[in-house]
Amino acid sequence: MSETANINISIAILLLPLLGFIIVLFFGKRFPKIYLAEVGIISFAFILSLVVGYSKLTSFLHQDLLFSFTWINFGNVPKIGELTVDLGIKIDNLTVIMLFVVNLISMLVHIYSIAYMEGDKRYSRYFSYLGIFTFSMLGIVLTDNLLMMYIFWELVGLSSYLLIGFWYEKQSASDAGKKAFLTNRIGDIGMFIGILILFTNYKSFSFDFIYSQIANGILPYGSEVWLTAAGILVFMGAVGKSAQFPLHVWLPDAMEGPTPVSALIHAATMVAAGVYLVARIFVMLTADAMLVIAIVGAVTSLFAATIALTQNDIKKVLAYSTVSQLGYMIMALGVGAYTYAFFHLVTHAFFKACLFLGSGSVIHSMHHEQDIREMGGLKKKMPITYYTFLISTLAISGIPLTSGFLSKDGLLAGTLAFGELTGHWLIPIMGFLVAFLTAFYMFRLVILTFHGEPRNQHKFDHAHESPFVMVMPLVVLSVLSTFIWYTPNPIGATDGWFATEWVQTPQTVVPETSRFDFMVREPHEASVGEHGLIAHSEKYEHAMHWAHYPAMILSILLGGLGILLAFTMYQWKKISPDNIADKVKSLYKGSLNKWYVDEIYDASFISGTLGLGNILSWFDKWIVDGIVNGSATLTRVFSKISGWFDTYIVDGFVNATAFISGFIGLNFKRMQTGKVQTYIVLVVFSIIVLFFIIGPF
Amino acid sequence: MEVGLNHFLTVSVALFALGLYGVVTRKNAVMVLMGVELILNSANINFVAFSRFGNLGINGQIYALFVIILAAAEAAIALAIVLNIYKTFANVNIDEIKNLKE
């Protein structure tokens, strides 16, 4: 297939879900069966993405397919010069793999939702929302520039908001939607500033153009500090969208949405968009920016894992586990393990979607019961759900033969190599601790839900295996959670095609002075080793090689230990979890209450904002309004005074003149008697007077 | 005591004052006219007196004659007007003849 054909099909893949959205949104009321069109469209898009993926990974493995056009031509802008805004798509290996993942999970969730959402009063609207989400997510995946990235970034935020608050009659659901939207906004502001820093310097949004400029030594504002700042600011978008500490608070609340939505958006795809974004900007990250990213990721993953230990809501456990795993991926990008971060993104998308859909299956059959204390013993009732859930749990715990083992092992080896090369040993320690905690809380979840005796007999009696359309996606996803799809060697990802051929660490463009010395820029500096990582130095290859077995052994050991502990505590009941909780009561309470992050935010930012709002409203009311009202009052007083002046002084003068004239007239009128005698007397009198004045006397 | 200019002038002033008084106070038009005659005659006395004692000479007496003639003509015309007024208003009271005033 030619290059253009691939590009055209990719554009079709992008636009098909939008078409589905429009059709279902506008005709959903009239034709209740129209949602089948949406399902069909997504399935078609999935088949197309398979075609593109196959063609790209066979014919164009080391070549990026590019397509762009000028969207807005500003012409010659004064002081800036020629300015055009280009849109376009870039299809590299990351893109086609993501296209496949997004379309596959989206399709499975569509199929699953047919049964799960049955009977909902906004049934077809739900499918149209899924359509716009898929469209926006594919936009993020396909874009070749930061502007489109930002636009689609906001669109996934919107569709996430719509779907979290889908049951908006529930107060908690509409609150959760708002919370997700606002929390994401904080990260997006940082991302926006970062994009603008890059745009003002390079007059372009295109990734490739910006990177080539940086590679040519043109730094933002001529300083490496600004490059670091731009990297961290764009990363802030990922902090929001991928629910990294301290903006992770929205994701657990987002579980108010329908469970298939949690699987699609809040586990597999949208939250991974943050990781995808960091992978896209990976080549321009300086050492400082990478360290920040690694620390944020490590802190997030440990923090969320400790919370997941004590949660009792099946979806909340999975939500915190998602946060924790996303922290893993971010941490992996921070330590330079680009390939494994993306690998983990893909494997996590499959097994976490499977876990969420499995939990949805449980919730569905338990009549919307989400508390694991009410479950137990469901293994007998729901065997398919149980086994698929178990496979995914094994994958997330990093047990050999699963996909999760491969990606997690590589990722942890990356942190070990990073520790070896830079001395930041705390990051691998946190990583391994999380591996242990993950295995523990995931098996706690499995045991409490599926094993043992039913704790709520009534609900247990009504439980049943889900219908075919719900079980089928579970099976597909759990099959994809095994190693065979990624590598023929179950304990070594490096023998496979995924981590060696398909996804390779790109060459950094950061100047030598501000990058980690194991990141290389020129191909000839790199070692094309057995791991196929072309953008790492030989030193890094050695470190990675050295870290491979310790990481593998440690992660299997810790995972096994976690599972053993979970079984001892919850299956065999040798150790009572309540006793432990009593012993470390403050820790237990802290974890149960999510370390009071929400409360801290309530007390600091939210009440701070409200307080600021109150102060501002007070200021408005008394100072601004006061000035306005004061000036109004002043004007009134002035106009009163000038009115008084008018009435009494000006009018007074006028009236007085008139009055005096009238008065004089009145008095002189008397002289005009019309009597000749009077006149004569006057004449005589006047003559006499005149005589006296001018006369000779 | 020699009768001098002052005596004549005194008589003349008295006559003028009486005439003026008549003109001013009387309401009857005829009486006003008689006041006017008195004033004219006081002027005549002045003329004659200045003719005798001043340096006016014979001219004073001539002027007096003119004034007498003028007075006769004036009296004739004025009486004719008064007669006409009487015919129009059936009244010769000058206070009530004020159609021109308003």
CA distance B24 to chain A (A): 5
Predicted local confidence at residue A639, as pLDDT: 93
3-state DSSP assignment of residue A166: coil
3-state DSSP assignment of residue A451: coil
Which of A504 and A166 is assigned the larger pLDDT? A166
| pLDDT cut 70: percent of chain A above it | 96
Number of H helices, E strands in chain A: 28, 2
Q: How many Å apart are CA A449 and CA A372, to the nearest integer?
A: 6
pLDDT tens digits along A594-626: 777 778 887 888 888 888 889 988 888 888 888
- Taking residue A534's Cβ as centre, other Cβ atoms within 10 Å add up to 16
Whether pLDDT at A1 is above 60: yes
Q: Counting beta carbons within 10 angstroms of the beta carbon of residue B72, is it exposed (0 to 12), middle (13 to 18) or buried (19 or more)?
A: exposed
CA distance B5 to chain A (A): 19
Mutation site, B23, B24, B27, B92, interface A, largest A CB count within 10 A = B24
Whether pLDDT at A64 is above 90: no
Predicted local confidence at residue A525, as pLDDT: 45
Chain A residues in contact with B20 by the CB 8 A cut-off are 680, 684
Which secondary structure element, helix H or strand E, spans residue A385, and what is its range?
Answer: helix A383-397
pLDDT tens digits along A371-412: 888 887 788 888 888 899 899 998 888 888 888 888 888 888
Chain A residues in contact with B100 by the CB 8 A cut-off are 674
pLDDT tens digits along A331-376: 988 888 888 888 889 899 998 999 988 888 888 888 778 888 888 7
Q: Counting beta carbons within 10 angstroms of the beta carbon of residue A667, is it exposed (0 to 12), middle (13 to 18) or buried (19 or more)?
A: exposed
Quote the Cα angle for B17-B19-B23, to 5°: 115
Chain A residues in contact with B98 by the CB 8 A cut-off are 674
Predicted local confidence at residue B102, as pLDDT: 46
Whether B24 and A674 lie within 8 Å, measured CB to CB: no
- Span A229-251, mean pLDDT? 88
Q: Counting beta carbons within 10 angstroms of the beta carbon of residue A244, is it exposed (0 to 12), middle (13 to 18) or buried (19 or more)?
A: buried
Contact (CB, 8 A) for A516 and A528: no
A677 → closest Cβ in B23, B101, B102: B23
- Taking residue A561's Cβ as centre, other Cβ atoms within 10 Å add up to 14
Q: Is B101 near chain A, with CB under 8 Å?
A: yes
Which distant-in-sequence residues (6+ apart) come within 8 Å of A347 by Cβ? A395, A403, A404, A406, A407, A481, A486
The answer to which of A209-218, A305-314, A503-512, B55-64 has the lowest mean pLDDT is A503-512
CA distance A684 to chain B (A): 9
Q: How many Å apart are CA A96 and CA A1, to the nearest integer?
A: 15
CA distance A674 to chain B (A): 6
Whether B23 and A680 lie within 8 Å, measured CB to CB: yes
Q: Is B78 near chain A, with CB under 8 Å?
A: no
Q: How many Å apart are CA A388 and CA A396, to the nearest integer?
A: 12
Find how far residue A180's CA is from the centre of its chain. Answer: 8
Which distant-in-sequence residues (6+ apart) come within 8 Å of A220 by Cβ? A197, A198, A201, A202, A226, A227, A229, A230
Whether pLDDT at A526 is above 60: no
A680 → closest Cβ in B24, B95, B101: B24
Chain B residues in contact with A684 by the CB 8 A cut-off are 20
Q: Chain A interface residues facing chain B, Cβ-Cβ under 8 Å?
A: 674-677, 680-681, 684
Chain A residues in contact with B24 by the CB 8 A cut-off are 677, 680-681
CA distance A671 to chain B (A): 13
* C-alpha dihedral sign at A372, A378, A379, A382: negative
Whether B94 and A677 lie within 8 Å, measured CB to CB: yes
What integer best gives the mean pLDDT of chain A? 84
Chain B residues in contact with A680 by the CB 8 A cut-off are 20, 23-24
Q: How many Å apart are CA A276 and CA A241, to the nearest integer?
A: 11
Chain A residues in contact with B102 by the CB 8 A cut-off are 674
Whether pLDDT at A235 is above 50: yes
pLDDT tens digits along A441-487: 898 888 888 888 888 787 777 788 888 888 888 898 888 888 878 87
pLDDT tens digits along B5-48: 889 999 999 999 999 888 888 888 888 889 999 999 999 999 99
Helices (H), chain B: 5-25, 29-53, 58-89
Contact (CB, 8 A) for A325 and A344: yes
Q: Which residue has the tokens 């990478």?
A: A290
pLDDT tens digits along A564-575: 888 888 888 877
3-state DSSP assignment of residue A401: coil
Predicted local confidence at residue A404, as pLDDT: 85
Predicted local confidence at residue A536, as pLDDT: 65
Quote the Cα angle for A533-A536-A542, to 5°: 90
Quote the Cα angle for A344-A348-A353, to 5°: 165
Q: Is B56 near chain A, with CB under 8 Å?
A: no
Q: How many Å apart are CA A234 and CA A153, to the nearest integer?
A: 12
Domains of chain B, residue spans? 5-96
A592 confidence band (pLDDT: 50, 70, 90)? confident
Contact (CB, 8 A) for A373 and A570: no
The answer to which of A97-106, A160-169, A324-333, A578-587 has the lowest mean pLDDT is A578-587
- Written as one string, the DSSP assignment of A29-71 is TT-GGGHHHHHHHHHHHHHHHHHHHHHHHHHSTT--EEEEEEE
Contact (CB, 8 A) for A465 and A382: yes
Phi-psi region of A469 (alpha: psi -120 to 50; beta: other; left: phi over 0): alpha
Least Cα distance to B97 among B80, B75, B82 occurs for: B82
Tell me if the bond preceding A577 is cis, omega within 30° of 0: no
pTM for this predicted structure:
0.76
Whether A675 and B25 lie within 8 Å, measured CB to CB: no
User: Which of the 8 DSSP states describes residue A519?
Assistant: B
* C-alpha dihedral sign at A673, A676, A679, A685: negative
A674 → closest Cβ in B20, B24, B98: B98
Q: Is B31 near chain A, with CB under 8 Å?
A: no
Whether pLDDT at A530 is above 60: no
Predicted local confidence at residue A532, as pLDDT: 43
Whether pLDDT at A121 is above 60: yes
Residue of B nearest to A678 (CA): B24
**A349 CB-side CA count, 13 A:** 28
At A634, the amino acid letter reads L
3-state DSSP assignment of residue A538: helix
Q: Is B25 near chain A, with CB under 8 Å?
A: yes
A675 → closest Cβ in B95, B100, B102: B95
Q: Is B95 near chain A, with CB under 8 Å?
A: yes
Predicted local confidence at residue A696, as pLDDT: 65
Q: Taking the domain B5-96, which CATH number applies? A: 1.10.287.3510
CA distance A688 to chain B (A): 13
Which secondary structure element, helix H or strand E, spans residue A89, and what is its range?
Answer: strand A81-91
A634 confidence band (pLDDT: 50, 70, 90)? very high
- Written as one string, the DSSP assignment of A596-625 is GHHHHHIIIIIHHHHHHHHHHHHIIIIIIH
- Span A130-155, mean pLDDT? 90
Whether B20 and A676 lie within 8 Å, measured CB to CB: no
CA distance B6 to chain A (A): 17
Q: How many Å apart are CA A320 and CA A310, to the nearest integer?
A: 11
A674 → closest Cβ in B20, B23, B101: B101
Whether pLDDT at A697 is above 60: no
Chain B residues in contact with A676 by the CB 8 A cut-off are 94
CA distance B63 to chain A (A): 23
Mutation site, B16, B23, B33, B102, interface A, largest A CB count within 10 A = B23
Contact (CB, 8 A) for A127 and A113: yes
pLDDT tens digits along B58-101: 888 999 999 999 999 999 999 998 898 888 888 888 777 766 65
Predicted local confidence at residue A529, as pLDDT: 42
B20 → closest Cβ in A674, A676, A684: A684
